[in-house]
Chain A
Amino acid sequence: MELEFAPQDEVFRAEVRDFVRARLPLGLRHKMLAGERLGKEDYLVWHRILHEQGWVAPNWPKAFGGCEWSAVRQHIFEEECALAGAPGILPFGIRMVAPVIMKFGSASQQQHFLPRILSGEDWWCQGYSEPGAGSDLASLKMRAERRGDHYLVNGQKTWTTLAQYADWIFCLVRTASAGKPQEGISFLLIDMKTRGVSVRPIIMLDGEHEINEVWFEDAMVPAENLVGEEGKGWTYAKFLLGHERTGNAGVGHCRRWLAELKALAQRQRGNDGRALADDTRFRDRIARLEIDLMTLEVMNVRVLALEEQRHAPGPEASMLKIMGSELQQALTETTMHALGHAAAPFPQAATGRYFNFRKASIYAGSNEIQRNIITRHLLGL
């Protein structure tokens, strides 16, 4: 670690570290460190442990049962969890839909959904992308037609992460087609058990089932599941994206992966029989990663400081998203290459991770979209 935070924040770090060390189940930790795929119950076990401690919602206000931690403490918490090999808190409920419900949802939506998100009773997934609407999200076509006290929903969402486990999906749907595309979009909460909702797996390039298509055929969704006003969904989605971007730096994961790579390079034989760590060409590759990680850590601290000043994430978060995802990809790539021929046999955790993490520069606003944001909001072009 290159930088220390304020003393009281470092005390907090020690508290988190002790807690994670004491409470993270060993089996789960080993699975994480070995790069194995986690199942639903793996995530939920850790979710419940955090819930019991009152730490499952770092970003929520205390009024809703959250921690209301500063941006710095949220970062420290995530970093310590990642370093220890704890699974991350899945963002879809806690970080994505919950802030939207808090800000724009009705009192009854808040009372119903928020405690269930907190306890882990409801697993959420995100219904944004469609086959024809990726980066150009506003061109989405999934329709929701108002029919008395419900919406009739038809269409398809895609790239839906872990939808196979989900109880609920929050969707951007089209409720009007006149005017600008952004104006006809609404934010709808849909029970995955609704008749007409089906999930089809998409197998990723690493051979794993992480993402899905979700189909809606004449699904009837109660009108009370509309969040806020009809036609305002785009505003809510932008609000949500602002919450999503920070935290994509993944400093904790990068630190753990770099440490693993160094250990691997010392164990692995290079071409001359000495350790790979003594091969100057390979060592240079690791040195670059080490420098990039130092840079990311300092960038992260600088952006967090801005965020705390403004009490809101800003467009600088786009820089973190790009740097963080590029470093994650470079780390997974170099780790795979460290294995040599041993990287080839399927399945191999490091190789799988390399393929899997091609997603990092695509999701949460592709890195090209992040550059558009930088262009517009930081460069004024």
Chain B
Amino acid sequence: MLALSDEQLQFRDSLQRLLRADYSFERRREIANSTLGWSRETWRQLAELGVLALALPEAHGGFGGGAMDTLVVMEECGRSLLLEPYLPTVVLGAGLIARVGSSTQCAAILPAVGAGERQLAFAHYEPAARYALDVVATDARRDGESWVVTGAKTYVLNGIAADQLIVSARTPKGLTLFMIDRTTPGVQLRDYPMYDSQRAADLRLDAVRVGAAAQLGEEGAAAAPIAATIDAAIAAVCAEAVGAMTVLLEATGAYLKTRKQFGVPIGSFQVLQHRMADMLLETEAARSMALLASSRLGTAGTAERRRIVSAAKVRVSEAARFVGQQAVQLHGGIGVTDELAVSHYFRRLTMIEMAFGDVDYHLEAVGRHLFE
């Protein structure tokens, strides 16, 4: 029920082999410093291995995998601190299109995503919304056969590299999705690196005119697929966090065995041993909730899915904060340097804590349904 299948384990092994061979921490540092901020070569390798097509529908060149397959991929993304935009392109972008796209739209985009030839971004959050999913001021109105979209978005992961931006906007009928080419006149992106070396952008849409074919899914009916897609992304970053925490645990354990002070390895001090024991407990608690979220993503009803995913985000975020902070603390001075991989894992975990809603936001979501 929570266990991975033999196929999933095999797949994980081949992905691990690839990343171990070609995605060392030094390589990652070079990639992070490049103009693009991620590697097209690595992206091509991921496509060749079938990683990108794994969770896409079979009808559109995918392998028809589910959330547990995504969990396997994301955990490895976390282990290697992958910079490549798997989450924005595959989980968010392709996830939305697979959920609500017409067969024409799916056929035009999804096989290209699976082949590594297409980049996507989901432009949903707005500066005034904080984490709320239903606060959308971006406006779309009909003008003849076209739509004209105006508004501002923030935290658009992979925005600058995306071929298509999926934009949420309000029409008179309600929340609606549009697929907009990045090069359309009126689209302005301000790209920035984040503390985890990943890229995001702020987006301005100045009366961006797109054809009727840009509409993705039914007009006014986007709230449910957006929530489902964000939940899938949350389950995915929970798995990613577990991968990153596992590495921090290994690195910190190894450091405690070799670093000597007062003439003995510092791992012989009980105060540090118990801290490590707590880090393991937190990591395993997080792993449990990441497994629960991914295993129930496709089978639970909407309310149940929301409850489980929010619970997982709370538990994983708290574990990520504890394990990240303590990994830095137990490494001492070297822990706060850019040189050591540990600080980079801590940075990614910290960004995950805030991604798609922080502890308070999701605790409120769990609390809201407690007495139903």
Task: Report which A residues bind B (CB closer than 8 A).
Answer: 2-5, 262, 265-266, 277, 280, 283-284, 286-288, 290-292, 294-295, 298-299, 301-302, 305, 319, 322-323, 368, 371-372, 374-375, 378-381
B265-300 vs A, Cβ < 8 Å mask (1 yes, 0 no) = 001101001101110110011001101100000000
Q: Contacts A305-B3, A379-B253 given; indicate if A368 touches B274 (C-beta within 8 A).
A: yes
* Residues in chain B near residue A380, CB distance under 8 A: 253, 257
* Residues in chain A near residue B292, CB distance under 8 A: 2-3, 294, 298
Distance of A372 Cα from B274 Cα, bound (Å): 7
B319-335 vs A, Cβ < 8 Å mask (1 yes, 0 no) = 00000000000000000
Q: Is the CB of B315 within 8 A of A291?
A: yes
Q: When the two chains form the complex, which single residue of B253, B257, B274, B308 contacts A371, counting CB atoms closer than 8 Å? A: B274
Distance of A301 Cα from B276 Cα, bound (Å): 23
* Residues in chain B near residue A295, CB distance under 8 A: 285, 288-289, 315
Q: Is the interface of A mostly helix, strand, loop or mixed?
A: helix
Distance of A171 Cα from B274 Cα, bound (Å): 31
Distance of A368 Cα from B275 Cα, bound (Å): 11
User: Chain A's nearest CB lies how many Å from the CB of B159?
Assistant: 33
> Which of the 9-residue segments B17-25, B66-74, B185-193, B362-370 touches chain A?
B362-370
User: Chain B's nearest CB lies how many Å from the CB of A306?
Assistant: 10
- 8 more contacts with CB within 8 A, not counting A305-B3, A368-B274, A381-B268, are A2-B308, A262-B370, A262-B371, A291-B311, A294-B289, A323-B281, A372-B273, A374-B277
Is B133 in the interface zone, CB < 8 Å from A? Answer: no
Distance of A292 Cα from B281 Cα, bound (Å): 12
Is B224 in the interface zone, CB < 8 Å from A? Answer: no
Q: Is the CB of A302 within 8 A of B367?
A: no
Q: Is the CB of A374 within 8 A of B371?
A: no
* Residues in chain A near residue B3, CB distance under 8 A: 305
Task: Report which B residues bind A (CB closer than 8 A).
Answer: 1-3, 253, 256-257, 267-268, 270, 273-274, 276-278, 280-281, 284-285, 288-289, 291-292, 308, 311, 314-315, 363-364, 366-367, 370-371
Q: Is the CB of A299 within 8 A of B285?
A: yes
Distance of A265 Cα from B2 Cα, bound (Å): 33
Q: Across the two chains, which residue of chain B brings its CB closest to A371?
A: B277
Q: Is the CB of A284 within 8 A of B367?
A: yes
Q: Is the CB of B274 within 8 A of A381?
A: no
Q: Is the CB of B1 within 8 A of A3?
A: yes
User: Chain B's nearest CB lies how many Å from the CB of A94?
Assistant: 29
* Residues in chain B near residue A277, CB distance under 8 A: 370-371
Q: Is the CB of B308 within 8 A of A294?
A: yes
User: Chain A's nearest CB lies how many Å from the CB of B8?
Assistant: 16
Distance of A262 Cα from B371 Cα, bound (Å): 7
Pick the most buried of B270, B278, B364, B366: most chain A CB atoms within 10 A of its CB. B366
Q: Contacts A3-B1, A302-B2, A371-B273 given; indicate if A286 touches B367 (C-beta within 8 A).
A: yes
Distance of A288 Cα from B370 Cα, bound (Å): 11
The 4 nearest A-B residue pairs measured at CB: A298-B288, A287-B367, A371-B277, A375-B273
Q: When the two chains form the complex, which single residue of A2, A286, A375 contacts B370, counting CB atoms closer than 8 Å? A: A286
Distance of A266 Cα from B371 Cα, bound (Å): 8
Q: Is the CB of A3 within 8 A of B2?
A: yes
* Residues in chain A near residue B366, CB distance under 8 A: 287, 290-291
Q: Is the CB of A381 within 8 A of B363?
A: no
User: Chain A's nearest CB lies how many Å from the CB of B4?
Assistant: 12
User: Chain B's nearest CB lies how many Å from the CB of A327?
Assistant: 11
Q: Across the two chains, which residue of chain A brings its CB closest to B273?
A: A375
* Residues in chain B near residue A280, CB distance under 8 A: 364, 367
Q: Is the CB of B284 within 8 A of A299?
A: yes
Distance of A299 Cα from B290 Cα, bound (Å): 11
Distance of A287 Cα from B3 Cα, bound (Å): 27
User: Chain A's nearest CB lies how many Å from the CB of B315?
Assistant: 5
* Residues in chain A near residue B291, CB distance under 8 A: 298, 302
Q: Across the two chains, which residue of chain B brings its CB closest to A316?
A: B284
* Residues in chain A near residue B253, CB distance under 8 A: 379-381
Distance of A197 Cα from B267 Cα, bound (Å): 45
* Residues in chain A near residue B311, CB distance under 8 A: 290-291, 294
* Residues in chain B near residue A288, CB distance under 8 A: 314, 363
* Residues in chain A near residue B281, CB distance under 8 A: 319, 322-323, 374
User: Chain B's nearest CB lies how many Å from the CB of A158?
Assistant: 25
* Residues in chain B near residue A266, CB distance under 8 A: 371
Q: Across the two chains, which residue of chain A brings its CB closest to B266?
A: A381
Q: Is the CB of B2 within 8 A of A298?
A: yes
Q: Contacts A3-B292, A381-B257 given; indicate if A319 touches B273 (C-beta within 8 A).
A: no
Q: Contacts A3-B2, A4-B1, A295-B288 given; indicate if A287 touches B363 (C-beta within 8 A).
A: yes
What are 9 sample pairs from A and B whose C-beta atoms fall under 8 A apart? A291-B315, A294-B292, A294-B308, A298-B2, A298-B292, A302-B284, A305-B3, A379-B253, A381-B253
Distance of A182 Cα from B366 Cα, bound (Å): 50
Distance of A287 Cα from B273 Cα, bound (Å): 30
User: Chain A's nearest CB lies how many Å from the CB of B338?
Assistant: 27
Distance of A9 Cα from B175 Cα, bound (Å): 45
Q: When the two chains form the complex, which single residue of B289, B363, B371 contacts A298, counting CB atoms closer than 8 Å? A: B289
Distance of A372 Cα from B253 Cα, bound (Å): 14
User: Chain B's nearest CB lies how many Å from the CB of A72?
Assistant: 11
* Residues in chain B near residue A319, CB distance under 8 A: 280-281, 284
Q: Is the CB of A290 within 8 A of B370?
A: yes
* Residues in chain A near residue B314, CB distance under 8 A: 287-288, 291
Q: Is the CB of B276 within 8 A of A381?
A: yes
Distance of A377 Cα from B253 Cα, bound (Å): 13
Q: Across the two chains, which residue of chain A brings its CB closest to B366?
A: A287
User: Chain B's nearest CB lies how many Å from the CB of A349?
Assistant: 22
User: Chain A's nearest CB lies how many Å from the CB of B306?
Assistant: 13
Q: When the two chains form the complex, which single residue of B256, B289, B364, B371 contacts A381, counting CB atoms closer than 8 Å? A: B256
